Chains A and B, each alone.
Chain A
Amino acid sequence: MLKKKAAVASVSALAMLGLVAGAQVASATAMRHGAAKKATVTIRFTWWGDPVRNKVYNGVIQAFEKKYPNIIVNAEPTSWSDYWTKLSVQMAGGNAPDVIGMHQFYVTDYAKRGQLLDLTPYVKDGTINLHDFPKAVQDSGKVNGKLVMIAQGVTMSGQVYNKTLFQQMGVPLPKLNWTWDDFIKEATALKQAFTAHGMGNDHWGADDESGAMQPVFNYFVRQRGKNLFTKDGKLGFTFSDLKAWFTMWDNLRKKGVIPDAATAAQNSTASREQSLFVQGKVGITAIPANQIYLYQTDMPNQTLGLVGEPMLGNKSGAFVEGAYLAVPKSSKHPKEAATFINFFINDPNAGKIFKIEQGMPGSVKIDKIVKPLLTPTQQQEVAFIDNRLKLAGVAPNPPKGYSEVATLFTQTAQAIAFGQKSIDQACNDFLKQAEQILGK
């Protein structure tokens, strides 16, 4: 009998251990709720970022909580690649944070499923003030006429070049408004100079950008008066556009101006720190303008220059890109979320903290406040975006299935580079498969 008691006691002791441990979790939760009770509302905010970027965002949140003591913002940052995995589950589960970082690549997916709140009413009642936003920037947040996201930073794509390398090789520098012919000429001249210096083996004029459907090929087709996708989500370009594009890159590859297929394929998955450009092995590569300071940090001994995407004649094809804030429909505190977004984009203090973390501020007013606070590299970036913005239009947001098509595009480029398919055959295959993906 005694033994039986002991057994029961020890089993229940084990169970207790579990319960106590569980209670600890519960009390930690209760503590947070307790803190929230004093204030009226707690909203959750998620974005993609690294520790450096997170500090900036946390600064903005602190400034917000100071100004609005009745709203508490819980920060839930995640790194870029995991961000979208997590967000899609949270959205499906109806538990997405109240304010979410949004991006053009993904917005259509969420908007078409009706998961994003139309912010127009909050703009109308003045909760969100867009008076200082240029129209192109405002419109870039619309899907099917509904304002589903607001730009926290605007950026434009460009080509970064290694000024030091160009000067050492005695090649004239690329110009801000250059054409595809100039691009080919510059890259070829640089490669020839490398060869003349006996470095031709592992140095190239430019990166292989043939697999980059976004943004470089997008510029290319827009210069030809088209878009990657039509408004109703079909392919916007034709066989001849695709063939012209791949033929141009294939010629460069055959002449050794861009890296061979194997090197390029390896480079496409390398981290920025290990990329050919940062190693000083290619002279030109495509980047979003807001990332130039990252490259400059990685290359302290080189000077970098930023020029536009090559043009076709005088057609730039430029379009607005950037990072946005959105509110999911499932949010229980849309009003407070809108208040937070407004603070983020319009408050001078927020502007001073956030600066150009995600590109140039959408608001012209904040832009003026921020400009004097920037480093020379950042000023170079802002000047560039400023200049490009004048040329920019709005590109239709990519449809559902976009990422599959983009992957297919890269695979097509690689199949051509490795000589697995002729250009004609590769283009035909791409069109067929892309239509299948989009037709789903």
Chain B
Amino acid sequence: MLQRNSVRLAKHAVLVVLGFVMLYPLLWMVSSSFNEDTEIFRNVSLFPNAPTLQNYVHGWAGLSGVTFGRFFLNSFFIVALCVVGNLIACSMAGYAFARLDFALRRVWFAVMMVTLMLPFHVTVIPQYIVFNHLELVNTYWPLVLPKFLGVEGFFIFLMVQFMRNIPRELDEAALADGCGPVRIYWYLILPLSVPAIITTTIFTFIWTWNDYFSQLLYISNLHLYTVALALRQFVDTMGQTSWGALFAMSTLSLVPLFAVFLFFQRYLIEGIVAGGLKG
């Protein structure tokens, strides 16, 4: 008994040390955000010499008179639209692939899977030209519109896999009760797909929140800047980098991610397990 305990103790010690090593950069960032700018690279300790909130004040003041509050709102706005778009489009497409019978279904499914494998960078310039012709550059449309058109093959695939595992008998029962395809989708499939829906929500949230490249390309107006874009403005290799403000705002930008993760964590694991086991 004693021996088993000591083995467990050793295991935990190793895990704690490893965890600390992995967390160190993050902890260092959080601690540096309370450090004075000039102290940041001289002080390797995790505890600031003279803790200050100056960085948060400076950082929140933002860029050229636009505060970080605005950038956070912008990010939330885009994220919310993307989540709604993905949920509507991907669940519908997933339902169609999983349940409905239409011409060339297998071919379309293959096409959808191919878009999943196509690197984003291949389509960057053609997409930019299209949105430029539509005069939608420098608005949120290029970031949001595609989500409503179901371009996220990954989530469609996730939905398809999940919905295929919902017993067909339920459909037949609904059919016998007089439901059409739309009502089956709405009353049967959607409520039973909640884990997949939540998984989609979380990942869309995280990916959109962290997305940088497409936001960089499409958004130039400072008032439309997102958190990711604004953060990057603090770093400039040709000039002065405001490390303190950067770390302070980076810390804040992690809060929503952290909150979403904490809140949905339970569902997230359920969703993946449910999808994975039966699929």
**Hey, which bits of chain A sit against chain B, CB under 8 A?**
3-4, 7, 10-11, 14-15, 17-18, 21-22, 24-26, 28-29, 32, 44, 46, 48-55, 58, 74-82, 85-86, 89-90, 92-95, 97, 271-274, 291, 294, 297, 300
Are B236 and A79 neighbours in the complex by a CB distance under 8 Å? Answer: yes
User: A85 with B224: in contact, given A58-B64, A75-B64 (CB under 8 Å)?
Assistant: no
Cβ-neighbour of B41 out of A92, A273, A291, A300 (below 8 A)? A273
Are B233 and A22 neighbours in the complex by a CB distance under 8 Å? Answer: no
Is the C-beta of B221 less than 8 angstroms from some C-beta in chain A?
A: yes
State how many angstroms separate the Cβ of B87 from the closest Cβ of chain A. 8
Is the C-beta of B234 less than 8 angstroms from some C-beta in chain A?
A: yes
Residues of B within 8 A of A81 (CB): 237
Q: In chain B, what residue has the closest Cβ to A290?
A: B238
Is the C-beta of B235 less than 8 angstroms from some C-beta in chain A?
A: yes
A29 to B138, CA, bound (A): 9
Residues of A within 8 A of B139 (CB): 25-26, 28-29
State how many angstroms separate the Cβ of B161 from the closest Cβ of chain A. 23
A interface secondary structure, majority: helix
Is the C-beta of B141 less than 8 angstroms from some C-beta in chain A?
A: yes
Residues of B within 8 A of A80 (CB): 236-239
Q: In chain B, what residue has the closest Cβ to A74?
A: B221
Are A95 and B137 neighbours in the complex by a CB distance under 8 Å? Answer: yes
Instruction: List, sorted by A's number, 14 A–B pairs whose CB atoms are closer than 8 Å.
Output: A22-B144, A44-B220, A46-B220, A50-B236, A50-B239, A51-B233, A51-B234, A52-B242, A77-B233, A79-B232, A86-B217, A92-B128, A92-B129, A94-B132
A57 to B94, CA, bound (A): 50
Are A4 and B221 neighbours in the complex by a CB distance under 8 Å? Answer: no
Are B220 and A22 neighbours in the complex by a CB distance under 8 Å? Answer: no
Are A294 and B64 neighbours in the complex by a CB distance under 8 Å? Answer: no
**Hey, which bits of chain B sit against chain A, CB under 8 A?**
38, 40-41, 63-64, 77, 80-81, 84-85, 88, 124-125, 128-129, 132, 137-141, 144, 148, 182-183, 186-187, 216-217, 220-224, 232-243, 245
Residues of A within 8 A of B220 (CB): 44, 46, 74, 76, 97
Q: In chain B, what residue has the closest Cβ to A32?
A: B221
Residues of A within 8 A of B221 (CB): 32, 74, 76
State how many angstroms separate the Cβ of A235 from the closest Cβ of chain B. 27
A201 to B24, CA, bound (A): 29
Are A273 and B239 neighbours in the complex by a CB distance under 8 Å? Answer: no
User: A53 with B236: in contact, given A21-B84, A92-B125 (CB under 8 Å)?
Assistant: yes
A74 to B219, CA, bound (A): 12
Cβ-neighbour of A7 out of B77, B124, B187 (below 8 A)? B187
Are B64 and A55 neighbours in the complex by a CB distance under 8 Å? Answer: yes
Q: Nearest 3 A-B pairs (CB), nearest first?
A: A50-B236, A76-B220, A50-B239
User: A22 with B81: in contact, given A48-B236, A50-B236, A274-B41 (CB under 8 Å)?
Assistant: yes
Residues of A within 8 A of B64 (CB): 51, 54-55, 58, 75
Are A50 and B241 neighbours in the complex by a CB distance under 8 Å? Answer: yes
B interface secondary structure, majority: helix
A74 to B137, CA, bound (A): 14
Residues of B within 8 A of A44 (CB): 220
Q: In chain B, what residue has the closest Cβ to A271?
A: B241
A68 to B127, CA, bound (A): 36
Cβ-neighbour of A25 out of B128, B140, B217 (below 8 A)? B140
State how many angstroms separate the Cβ of A353 from the closest Cβ of chain B. 14
Residues of A within 8 A of B232 (CB): 79, 82
User: A94 with B129: in contact, given A18-B88, A79-B235 (CB under 8 Å)?
Assistant: yes
Tell which of A26, A46, A97 has the most Cβ of chain B within 10 Å. A26
Q: In chain B, what residue has the closest Cβ to A297?
A: B240
Are A89 and B125 neighbours in the complex by a CB distance under 8 Å? Answer: yes
A28 to B222, CA, bound (A): 13
State how many angstroms separate the Cβ of A65 from the closest Cβ of chain B. 14
Excluding A25-B140, A86-B217, A97-B220, 7 further A-B contacts by CB distance (< 8 Å) are: A11-B186, A49-B238, A50-B238, A58-B64, A79-B235, A95-B128, A294-B239
State how many angstroms separate the Cβ of A436 from the closest Cβ of chain B. 24
User: A93 with B233: in contact, given A50-B242, A55-B64 (CB under 8 Å)?
Assistant: no
Residues of B within 8 A of A29 (CB): 138-139
Are B238 and A78 neighbours in the complex by a CB distance under 8 Å? Answer: no
Q: In chain B, what residue has the closest Cβ to A79?
A: B236
Residues of B within 8 A of A86 (CB): 216-217
A74 to B241, CA, bound (A): 24
State how many angstroms separate the Cβ of A88 from the closest Cβ of chain B. 9
Residues of A within 8 A of B85 (CB): 18
A80 to B242, CA, bound (A): 15
Cβ-neighbour of B183 out of A3, A28, A58, A85 (below 8 A)? A3
Residues of A within 8 A of B243 (CB): 273
Are B137 and A21 neighbours in the complex by a CB distance under 8 Å? Answer: no
A300 to B38, CA, bound (A): 10
Residues of B within 8 A of A76 (CB): 220-222
Are B183 and A7 neighbours in the complex by a CB distance under 8 Å? Answer: yes
State how many angstroms separate the Cβ of A141 from the closest Cβ of chain B. 19
A85 to B241, CA, bound (A): 20
Are A50 and B137 neighbours in the complex by a CB distance under 8 Å? Answer: no
Cβ-neighbour of B239 out of A28, A49, A75, A78 (below 8 A)? A49
A95 to B135, CA, bound (A): 10
State how many angstroms separate the Cβ of A349 from the closest Cβ of chain B. 19
State how many angstroms separate the Cβ of A92 from the closest Cβ of chain B. 5
A273 to B224, CA, bound (A): 31
A22 to B145, CA, bound (A): 9
State how many angstroms separate the Cβ of B172 from the closest Cβ of chain A. 19
Are B237 and A271 neighbours in the complex by a CB distance under 8 Å? Answer: yes
User: A95 with B233: in contact, given A7-B187, A18-B85, A29-B139 (CB under 8 Å)?
Assistant: no
A44 to B124, CA, bound (A): 22
A300 to B36, CA, bound (A): 15
Cβ-neighbour of A14 out of B63, B84, B132 (below 8 A)? B84
Cβ-neighbour of A93 out of B38, B81, B132 (below 8 A)? B132
Residues of B within 8 A of A74 (CB): 220-221
Are B88 and A48 neighbours in the complex by a CB distance under 8 Å? Answer: no
A43 to B96, CA, bound (A): 47
